[in-house]
A and B are shown apart, each in its own frame.
Chain A
Amino acid sequence: MTVPATAPTAAAAARPAPGAARGIRRHLAYSPWLFAAPGLLIVAVFSLYPFVSTVINSFTDRRTLLPGHFVGLANFRELLHDDMFWIGLRNSTLYVLGVVPALVILPLLLALLVQRHIPGIAFFRAAFYTPVVASIVVVGLIWVWMLDDRGLINALLETVGIGKVGFLSDQWLLLVSSMAVTVWKGLGYYMIIYLAALANVPRELHEAAAVDGAGAVRRFVTVTVPAVRSTMVLVAALSSVAAFKVFSEVYLMAGPNGGPAGEDTTLVMLVQRVGTGLSGRVGYASALSVVVFVVVVALMLLVLRADRKEDA
């Protein structure tokens, strides 16, 4: 599933389980494993084992139908000389830089907008969540149609006299358009996370600031932002990891080959293209995947470190 859950699960992992009576264990020594077995099995076979085998495969020349041999760092050396790899890395990085600031700030403003319990607000909250619910394929096809040369947005631009813009034909506009779609689809999701955080901001802080004569903008900067800062870091972490791994938006809008001359290919698109099919280069695709792992972990550490530094 694509919906990233939030960090508290990991944070709560450290909490000790309250001690059940000793007898519980003696009575049913077998059952804990019986309870956990299905979950452990699925996770071991489809997450942990594939992770280990990806790392191992990255040092081989394995192909879909051929077993492959150990080739050391050859795949990684080849990456350095592969133009497509650098294009993918560039685009995935640009995606993070373009999408993350928007997804940290806009959903917060949206959450402030729907925070008050005014009549009809439940409807608006649910409606703003609609793009999150819709499949990425549906979203992609809708925006391809909206941004088409003859689509709604160009028709509107023509009507007001600006003229057509080739959103889907220009290499850079394509990437920017995909980013806009990613932001559009993610707004509602991060809005909900911010809503939960805003609920914990004490009202008195705002009132005190208002008494001191702070306007809305000033209260936002001096009260709201500091109060939800850790949530902003969480959103930055989640959205940057998701942005770096982008596949569907670009695949759907730029096509399987990644737009003009493949210039819009992202890293995960490259993994999919190189590694699948009957002649798929499993070893090389695994090396690409390892790069994705490393960057994702680095991004998380970077964001979390930024959080800690500001705390100090």
Chain B
Amino acid sequence: MNAPTVTDAEGRRVAPWQLVLRYVLLIAVLALTVGPFLWQLSTSLKGPHEDIFSSPPSFLPGDPTLGNYGRVADTIPVWDYAFNSLKVAAANVVTNCVGAALAGYALARMRYRGRRAATLAFILAMLVPVEGLIIAQFTTMRELGLNNTLIGVLLPGSISAINVLLMRNAFLNLPLEVEEAAFVDGANVWQRFLRIALPSVKGTLAVVAIFAFMGAWDDFLWPLIVLSDPDKFTLTIGLNYLHGTFANDERLVAAGTIIAVAPLIALFACLQRYFFRGVGEGAVKG
């Protein structure tokens, strides 16, 4: 750490003692936020004859093994569950990006009778707490014959109102002149949407995509209600099941949770630059 010459983004010198204090605090918070994940990883790697309950605790596995990951798969079909989660999450990204972009464009850029009513419908839908809707959603899903299917898991959140409104705001912030020029040149609404508007809101689209993936991959309450057949479980429901059944072997539960969280952390690590930029630009300004 080359403290004395460090400057921040505005080119201002940061006093060395301040910098040291800051890094000490940062590392303390890091231990608090990431530490539990590392402890879980460590547990999942500990061998069958190791004492995972030792006091004082041992933070590094003395006899590291990947065997617990294989054993999870022997006890629950964890890879099938992960695949189910992946299917739902990927579909959720596609439906949300496409549906929200289309509807957002209609709300922001088109003039027609009923546009206010349509906007209001999305705002109301955003305000209604999902947790209070689950029973009615469950009975609706029964009536549609989609209970206990992955489609049933997907549908309620497949085009979420908040994403529509995010896209609407992003489109509203684009200057209208470019589109007007394209209109004068004879571009129809699809061309203007696809070639001009959409490429300009990539940041917001990326945020929608990340939220859609995370939301579907992490969801717990709704799949818990809609799915009853263990073959169709998503990873979160499968893990809860694993926890209930094999609570005695923490190594297995730990391995299962690492399987569930590792892909998301990797995904987020890859996309976090776009994510923080996109959130900074659109979602939380005001």
* Chain A contact residues, CB within 8 Å of chain B: 1-13, 15, 17-21, 23-25, 27-29, 31-33, 35-36, 38-40, 42-51, 53-54, 57, 64, 110, 113-114, 116-119, 122, 124-131, 133-138, 141-146, 148, 150-152, 154-156, 158-159, 184, 187-188, 192-193, 195-197, 199, 203, 241, 245, 247-248, 252, 268, 271-272, 275-276, 280, 282, 285-286, 289-290, 292-293, 296
Q: Are B257 and A138 in contact (CB under 8 A)?
A: yes
Q: Are A116 and B8 in contact (CB under 8 A)?
A: yes
B126 near A: Cβ within 8 Å?
A: yes
User: With A20-B179, A39-B122, A192-B276 known to touch, is A248 a contact of B212 (CB < 8 Å)?
Assistant: no
Q: Are A2 and B128 in contact (CB under 8 A)?
A: no
Contact mask for chain B residues 210-228; partner A; CB cutoff 8 A; 1 contact, 0 none: 0110111111110011000
Q: Which of B114-151 contact A (CB under 8 A)?
A: 114-115, 118-119, 121-140, 142
CB distance from B75 to the nearest CB of A (A): 15
Q: Which of B34, B55, B166, B180 has the most CB of A within 10 A?
A: B55
Q: Are A9 and B19 in contact (CB under 8 A)?
A: no
Q: How many chain B residues have a CB neighbour from A under 8 Å?
A: 124
Q: Which of A13, A268, A275 has the most CB of B within 10 A?
A: A13
By a CB distance below 8 angstroms, the chain B residues around A117 are 8-10
| Contact partner, A135, options B115, B188, B220, Cβ 8 Å | B220
| Contact partner, A48, options B107, B124, B158, Cβ 8 Å | B124
Q: Classify the secondary structure of B's interface with A.
A: helix
User: With A3-B215, A6-B286 known to touch, is A24 a contact of B110 (CB < 8 Å)?
Assistant: yes
User: With A8-B284, A17-B108, A46-B137 known to touch, is A245 a contact of B33 (CB < 8 Å)?
Assistant: no
Q: Are A42 and B55 in contact (CB under 8 A)?
A: no
B69 near A: Cβ within 8 Å?
A: no
* Chain B contact residues, CB within 8 Å of chain A: 1, 6, 8-10, 14, 19, 22-23, 25-26, 29-30, 32-34, 36-37, 39-40, 43, 53-57, 98-100, 102-103, 105-112, 114-115, 118-119, 121-140, 142, 155-162, 164-166, 168-169, 172, 176, 179-180, 183-184, 188-190, 193, 211-212, 214-221, 224-225, 235-236, 239-240, 243, 250, 253-254, 256-257, 260-261, 264-265, 268-269, 272-273, 276, 279-280, 283-286
Q: Are B219 and A113 in contact (CB under 8 A)?
A: no
CB distance from A161 to the nearest CB of B (A): 11
By a CB distance below 8 angstroms, the chain B residues around A282 are 135, 139
